[in-house]
A = this chain, B = another copy of it.
Amino acid sequence: MHILITGAAGMIGRKLTARLVADGTLGGREITALTLADVAAPPAPTGFAGQVDCRAADLEQPDQPARLIDTRPDVIFHLAAIVSAEAEIEFDKGYRINLDATRAVFDAIRAAHLAEGYCPRMVMASSIAVVGAPLPHPIPDEFHLTPLTSYGTQKAICELLLSDYTRHGFMDGIGIRLPTICIRPGAPNKAASGFFSSILREPLIGQEAVLPVPDTIRHWHASPRSAVGFLLHGATMDLTALGSRRNLSMPGLSATVAEQIEALRRVAGAGAVALIRRDPDPFITRMCESWATGFEATRARALGFTAEDSFDEIIRIHIEDELGGTA
């Protein structure tokens, strides 16, 4: 089995690669080749016996999507995207990368389908940004697409394209609508949602973190480990059960900031909690209030997708996967 990952150098891409290499198989089939693509070539994974092709592929370039599909992967994890804040400011770039590049990948698949019957499994990362306020809580599976960012608009459009290209038989696609990933490993970033991770991640290693919103803010979370699990399940399950509705809101954990902090207290003690410094930011607070606070995810749960039940578990997963098992 040959697997292609676009956006392979990103956080989820690296974790997915590591998991595939560790497993050596996907859905019971041996992984014989990995094509790892990103704007800069991702590092080659260690310990993989099969063939690895790490390539720099700028999907904005017209020939690049077709060159990736020329390798005829059996399964494609399409993770490549620019993030929400960048897509909002860089309007053209956002549409080029988050919409046109995805469509170019789909069109390259279609061309190969029409030429020789090629029909890969396409597992595409989507986002809760496809919805925006005013929102019910929890959001039902049949709630409409109401993005309030260009990023969310682009993801919603890619969901529609994925369904249509799948319905025509060009590919066997599933869109995985990811919760906010928490605890996101690594250094703090400038995403408005970054504090959801940093108020746990920094205190766990004895550093101060800034909380810009009230403790009452509720949001929708899943661990990086769950995100990888969603993608793997989407790659291996029988998708005929999805019918024509190929985009699924994933399960996750709906929690307030206060619940996050109490979980931190239970797992890492009052000293860790004392490292959270409150510095209210009305702009970030207003943004958070426009985001989803939770999804029913009835279909995804029924189809076997699972996520964490508590923030204690999310914190423990971070400690296991990022901090060598100690807090």
Contact = CB atoms under 8 A, between A and B. Distances in A.
Contact of A245 (B110, B146, B163): B146
Contacts of A153: 160-161, 163-164
Nearest to A145: B145
B244 A148 contact: yes
Looking at A144, A145, A148, A167, which has the most chain B CB atoms within 10 Å of its CB?
A144
Contact of A157 (B110, B144, B146, B157): B157
A142 interface: yes
Contacts of A110: 91
A156 interface: yes
A140 to B, nearest CB: 9
Interface string A128-143: 0000100000000111
B142 A163 contact: no
Contacts of A286: none
Interface of A: 91, 110, 132, 141-148, 150, 153, 156-157, 160-161, 163-164, 167-168, 244-245
7 contacts: A91-B168, A144-B144, A145-B145, A148-B244, A153-B164, A156-B160, A157-B157
